[in-house]
Copies of this chain bind each other. A is one copy, B any other.
Amino acid sequence: MKKQEFTLHFLASELGATLIGESMSEVCGISTLQSAQSNEISFLANPAYEKFLTETQATAVILSPDMAEKYQAVLSDKVILVHNNPYLAYAQISHFWDKPTMKVVGPAYISNSACIHPSAKISANVYISEGVIISAGAIVHKGAVIGPNCVIGEDSIVGMNSLLHANVTLYHGVTIGDNCILHSGVVIGSDGFGFAPDKKQWIKIAQIGGVVIEDDVEIGANTAIDRGALDNTLIERGVKLDNQIQIAHNVRVGQNTVMAACCAVAGSTTIGKNCVIGGASGIAGHLTIVDNVHITAMTMVIKNLKEPGIYSSGTGVQPNAKWRKSIARLRQLDKMAARLKVLEKKLTSHN
């Protein structure tokens, strides 16, 4: 399949970049400096890759003003696009070469194999793939794309231009905003984990709240978000959740917070805006985390985080033999502290 070609003039103008060199050259792809071929464009965002700049086969490179000045002479055979934020520029033009799979690129499409309840409201310009099941009262707004074998529960809503990849499940009463992306295996609106103990048995608490996902949210593969017990679970505008995440009932995740894969957030916790949550972190229930908190990977958050900043936990990795000693010593710490105190006393009595 032939890849689409764009002139560097066009790309520079899309990016608002200054162009140094032959503007009518065409490129048919974007790659790393190391992998780029001679008909592709590349970029330098991370200083660690500066060493590859003089060796790249790329026809054109996106550079910051500093780097452009430094390398303009050396790279005289290349076209340079000067941009204040090459990483952002890369993000923006990367979409020119993305496969338009399952986007509403042509006319609307509703597969014959989809089962759509007569009371569901389907806007005119949508794409409903094979095997999709849409329940009573559901609404699919303009430009939305519903991937193969997705299931949309009763009275749930998919906002404009939102994309559900294959095998997404929305329970009933779930609202997805505009311009959201939900990856395969995502489950939204499953029951929160609520039981009342009664003589060593567990009595289920009906989970009668819903889930609200605001606009511009992306949710990674196999992530699950439970419905609220009484009120809603809420994912605010611009949040990005990676794969395999667990969001329990009545959690609230603030605007533009990003969470890496495999995190677990227990019930009724509120996470602020613009937080960065490292992968495989666990956050206990009924906590509050303020805005602008950064949690490193595999952190165990068991108290409120009241100040912005970076938080961590864990012991890091060690060779097993040393780790065994560390752990054994950790268990003796209380005794070591006592022995230290004894010594301090003795030494004080000496003087």
A contact residues vs B (CB 8 Å cutoff): 1, 30-32, 35, 85, 87-88, 90-92, 94-95, 97-99, 101, 111, 113, 115, 129-131, 133, 135, 147-149, 151, 153-155, 165-167, 169, 171-173, 181, 183-185, 187, 190-191, 193-198, 200-208, 218, 220-222, 224, 226, 229-231, 238, 240, 242-244, 246, 248, 256, 258, 260-262, 264, 266, 274, 279-280, 282, 284, 295-303, 305, 309-327, 329-334, 336-337, 339-340, 343-344, 346-347, 350-351
Contacts and interface: CB of A to CB of B under 8 A. Distances in A.
Given A95-B206, A220-B193, A340-B339, A101 B300 contact: no
B203 A92 contact: yes
A282 B279 contact: yes
Nearest to A153: B101
Given A240-B202, A246-B261, A297-B300, A149 B131 contact: yes
7 contacts: A85-B198, A94-B206, A169-B184, A244-B246, A313-B314, A314-B315, A326-B331
A329 B339 contact: no
Given A201-B256, A220-B224, A316 B312 contact: no
B264 A280 contact: yes
Which A-B residue pairs are the 6 nearest by beta carbons? A98-B206, A91-B196, A329-B333, A310-B320, A94-B206, A190-B221
A214 to B, nearest CB: 13
Given A191-B183, A222-B224, A244-B264, A337 B332 contact: yes
Nearest to A197: B88
A200 B231 contact: no
Given A185-B185, A318-B311, A320-B312, A244 B224 contact: yes
Given A101-B154, A260-B266, A323 B313 contact: yes
A91 to B, nearest CB: 4
Contacts of A317: 295, 299-303, 305, 311-313
A309 B321 CA distance: 10
B329 A337 contact: yes
B331 A318 contact: yes
Nearest to A292: B200
A222 B222 contact: yes
A336 B333 CA distance: 10
B243 A246 contact: yes
Contacts of A316: 300, 302-303, 313, 327
A337 to B, nearest CB: 6
B314 A314 contact: yes
